[in-house]
Chain A
Amino acid sequence: MRFILRRLGFYLIAFWVSITLNFLLPRFMPGDPVSRMFARSQAQMKPEQMDQLRKMLGVDDRPLWEQYIDYLHNLFTGNMGTSISRFPTPVTEVIASQIGWTLLLGGTALAFAAVVGNLLGVFAAWRRGGAIDSALPPLLIFIGSFPYFWLAMGALYLFGVVLGWFPLRHAFSDTLQPDFSWEFVSDVGAHLVLPALTIVLVTIGGWMLGMRNTMIATNAEDYITMAEAKGLRPGRIMFRYAARNAMLPSVTSFGMSLGFVVGGALLTEVVFAYPGVGYQLLNAVQGLDYPLMQGLFLTITAAVLLANFLVDVLYVRLDPRVRVS
């Protein structure tokens, strides 16, 4: 329990840091948003409009701490401001309409890569020098060396443009209305394959190698020898004794890797024009939609922190030793 509370405290600090960072960035960075928008509008903006913008962004002449308190107050009442590129839709609404797609894409890819990668790692370590152990690691390291977006481009080109097996862009066909019909769900599935596959391909090698190396270390432990001496069946030794212990570091890196998956998903979303938060974040940056951009960043951060906290809770369930200490 103390472990959980400690972690919770840590995540709160991390969240506070990201909020504060978000608050300070537009105020201290050389490129002040309003003057950039002014430049973008080719000096067509009137001074009143600029003042209005400043007010909307919460950047005005009041003392910094007052702005900060205001900012925090707004945030905790669920007010992230109004999107500029989609005026007058509130930022929260824009995000809410998109986060589902990212969760779908990132979640599917992450779960698949982690499960399959870890299983491959278990088998590779169990049969040292076997087919899986000799062939896959170099291959997967090589595939993992490609940038996400480049693999995404390659997949799009090969399976989308040349072979025409999968749709090229977006999360579902324009002709369909979102509902829970079989037609729509399968359409979403077809749109999901290529982006998810890209993320899986890049990340699976890391999972496999990490698991393989910890498994090799675990296999040298006395309790594995004891399990063998006990005459248990190989499958039981492999999973209940070796993998069950070797997965603990994997669980920790699961949390850590969430941030990278979000990053990878962002690039993949951009290539496939997949309507998730990553794609939206880039659009917001390009459209100088600062409120939306900041809202998205905070949301992504909060999601990553929350997921990490859930992983910690899971870890406590998996490792009895942290429950007491």
Chain B
Amino acid sequence: MTASLASTPTDPAILSPQAVTPGSGKYDDDSSGGSDAPGGAANPGGSGVSGGRCRATRRSFTQGLLTNKKALAGTAILLLFIALALLAPVLFPDNPSKITGMASEEPSAEHWLGTTAKGQDVLALTIHGARSSLLVGLTVGLASTLIGIVVGLASAYFGKFVDEALSVTTNVFLLLPGLPLLVVLAAFLPPGLGTVIVVLIVTGWAGSARVLRSQALSIRSKDFVAAAVVSGEGPLRIMFREILPNMASNVMSTLLGCVIFGIGAQAGLEFLGLGDVSTVSWGTNLYWAGNEGALLTGSWWVFVPSGLCIALVAFALALINYAVDEVTNPRLRKIRAPKDRVPKTAAHKSGSSHSKAAQ
């Protein structure tokens, strides 16, 4: 539930000029030749990509992500959790719900994270819980993003009535308060993992559709799409081959946002007891922790691990999302102090104090 607020708006205007000006390379080649080139001097913050072709932009996008510390840290955390989830049956071959110790034991050598009030091993529950949580998160994220892409592209390509209808539907779903709707839907459907996934997709797709629609609309209005229409390319080809590749970074950040939403909302739903309480997931772990009064008995080790895991995964995804923003929107990047590059003259001193003032 926290995701939709935390995901930062990307500025579509920043992305588009580089991504969608095919064949403007003629003069750029000239001006990037000399070091004192007037063209380059005037527009230092502008498009540094000469020739501005899509592929070059995408390569630099991936490259930017690979060299971004936030992206790397996020990916590392995420991979760690995926590895744990995959290795869970190897690390703890027994059923994690099995009672293996005394009730509410503190962390010890035998039970690294202690035991629950029932006497289950908390570490086993936590690591096994990653499987369901990540699975649901990824499924919900992928499905919501996919719906978002289809709705967004259809809106942008067909326009007029289709767009009107789709955007009203999207906005209505966006406005209906998510969690109460989740709760009501979950109350009517038979409990189970499938229900949780379906319910989360129903309440989660609208956010991604809204973001992707506006981006698709701005790309739809570019000349190269008009050219593709005139040259008789089919609707599907235009939507998926012309428009979609140019919004790759938006799709990515939407996907990340949706996965965060999925993991958080699943946990919330299960914490409320509206999921399938017999499966092991971070949400159900917390449900049982609450139910068995872990808080009041002071067994902090029962509810800390699962919550921390949810937070770490969400944080990792948010970090990657933030990095995507930074890579595509240069203005958000940290300003480096380039002191070593400028000769230290008296004039420079006054120059630097002034540029601080200008901010």
Count of A-B contacts judged by CB separation below 8 Å:
201
Of A58-66, A72-80, A254-262, the one with at least 4 CB within 8 A of chain B? A254-262
Residues of A within 8 A of B91 (CB): none
Using a CB-CB cutoff of 8 Å, which residues 159-184 of chain B contact chain A?
168, 171-172, 174-184
Q: Which residue in chain B gives the minimum CB-CB distance to A16?
A: B172
Whole-angstrom CA separation of A17 from B173 in the bound complex: 9
- In residues 134-154 of chain A, which contact B (Cβ within 8 Å)? 141-142, 144-150, 153-154
Query: Would you mind naming 17 contact pairs between A and B with Cβ atoms under 8 Å apart?
Result: A10-B171, A17-B172, A145-B311, A147-B268, A147-B307, A149-B268, A153-B286, A202-B2, A205-B6, A210-B8, A213-B325, A256-B174, A257-B5, A259-B178, A278-B180, A285-B272, A305-B175
Q: Is the CB of A142 within 8 A of B296?
A: no
Asked whether B271 lies within 8 Å of A147 as measured between CB atoms, the reply is: yes
CA distance A217 to B10 in the complex (A): 11
Is A30 part of the binding interface, using a Cβ–Cβ cutoff of 8 Å?
yes
Contact residues, B261-298 vs A (CB, 8 A):
264, 267-268, 271-274, 286, 289-290, 295-296, 298
Question: Which A residues touch B334, using CB under 8 A?
Answer: 129
Q: What does DSSP make chain A's interface, helix, strand, loop or mixed? A: helix
Q: State whether the Cβ of B318 lies closer than 8 Å to any Cβ in chain A.
A: yes
**A270 and B187 contacting across the interface, CB-CB below 8 Å:** no
CA distance A271 to B274 in the complex (A): 15
B179 cross-chain contacts in A, Cβ below 8 A: 260, 262-264, 266-267
Q: In the assembly, what is the distance between CA of A301 and CA of B174, in Å? A: 11
Give the residue of B180, B318, B358 whose beta carbon is less than 8 angstroms from that of A297. B180
Which residues of A, 81-128, contact B by the 8 Å Cβ criterion? 126-128
Please state if A142 and B311 are interface contacts (CB–CB under 8 Å). Answer: yes
Shortest B290–chain A CB gap in Å is: 7
Interface: B84 (CB within 8 A): no
**Interface status of A206 (Cβ within 8 A of chain B):** yes
B183 close to A281 (CB less than 8 A): yes
Contacts of B300 in A (CB 8 A): 157
Least Cβ–Cβ distance between A170 and chain B, in angstroms:
15
* A43 within 8 A of partner (CB): no
A194 in the interface, Cβ–Cβ < 8 Å?
Answer: no
Asked whether, in the complex, the Cβ of A259 is within 8 Å of the Cβ of B176, the reply is yes
* Interchain residue pairs A-B with the least CB separation, the first 7: A263-B179, A206-B5, A150-B307, A145-B314, A29-B188, A259-B177, A145-B315
Q: Which of A29, A203, A217, A260 contacts B189 (CB 8 A)?
A: A29
B114 to chain A, nearest CB (A): 15
For residue A209, CB closer than 8 A to chain B, the reply is yes
A148 touches B295 (CB 8 A): no
Expressed in whole angstroms, the minimum distance between the Cβ of A262 and any Cβ of chain B is: 5
Q: How far is the CB of B141 from chain A (nearest CB, A)?
A: 15
CB distance from A288 to the nearest CB of B (A): 8
- Contact A150 B319, beta carbon cutoff 8 Å: no
**Count of chain A residues with Cβ under 8 Å from any Cβ of B?**
75
Which residue of chain A lies nearest to B297 when distances are taken between CB atoms in the complex?
A161
Look across to chain B and name the residue whose beta carbon is closest to the beta carbon of A296.
B180
A12 CB, nearest partner CB in chain B, Å: 11
In Å, the complex CA distance between A312 and B284 comes to: 39
In chain A, positions 3-44 with a C-beta closer than 8 Å to chain B are 10-11, 13-14, 17-18, 21-22, 25-26, 29-31, 33
Closest to A127 in B: B359
B11 interfacial contact with A, CB 8 Å? yes
Q: How far is the CA of A264 from the CA of B268 in the complex (A)?
A: 9
The residue on A at minimum CB distance from B329 is A213
Q: B185: CB under 8 A from chain A?
A: yes
A128 to chain B, nearest CB (A): 6
Q: Would B189 and A30 count as touching, CB distance under 8 A?
A: yes
* Interface of chain B: mostly helix, strand, loop or mixed: helix
Chain B residues closer than 8 Å to A144, beta-carbon distance? 2, 5-6, 318
| CA gap between A304 and B173 in the complex, in Å | 12
Query: A192 at the A/B interface (Cβ < 8 Å)?
Result: no
Which residue on B lies nearest to A286, using beta carbons?
A: B273
Contact yes or no, B2 A148, CB < 8 A? yes
A259 to B11, CA, bound (A): 24
Given A141-B322, A202-B2, A308-B175: A282 and B272 interface contact (C-beta under 8 Å): yes
Whether B267 lies near A147 (C-beta < 8 A) is: yes
A149 to B318, CA, bound (A): 19
A156 an interface residue at 8 Å Cβ cutoff?
A: yes
A216 interface residue (CB < 8 Å to B): yes
CB < 8 Å neighbour of B177 from A29, A142, A304: A304
Q: Which residue of A lies closest to B319 (CB)?
A: A141
Is there contact, CB below 8 Å, between B177 and A300? yes
Supposing A217-B331, A300-B180, A301-B177 touch, asked if A153 and B8 sit within 8 A by C-beta, the answer is no
B171 x A14 contact (CB < 8 A): yes
B298 to A, closest residue via Cβ:
A161
- The chain A residue with its CB closest to the CB of B186 is A285
B187 close to A149 (CB less than 8 A): no
Q: Across the interface, do B271 and A149 meet the contact criterion of CB distance under 8 Å?
A: yes
Most chain A beta-carbon contacts within 10 A, residue among B2, B176, B322 = B2
- The one of B184, B189, B315 in contact with A293, judged by C-beta atoms closer than 8 angstroms, is B184
B56 in contact (CB, < 8 A): no
Minimum C-beta distance from B60 to chain A (A) = 21
B190 within 8 A of partner (CB) = yes
B332 within 8 A of A: yes
A282 to B182, CA, bound (A): 11
Q: Which residues of B contact A202 (CB under 8 A)?
A: 2
> Which partner residue on chain B sits nearest A264 by CB separation?
B1
Distance, CA A25 to CA B260, complexed state (A):
27
Beyond contacts A145-B314, A148-B2, A210-B5: 9 other A-B pairs, Cβ-Cβ < 8 A, are A14-B172, A141-B318, A147-B2, A256-B4, A267-B179, A267-B272, A285-B187, A285-B274, A300-B180
A158 to B312, CA, bound (A): 20
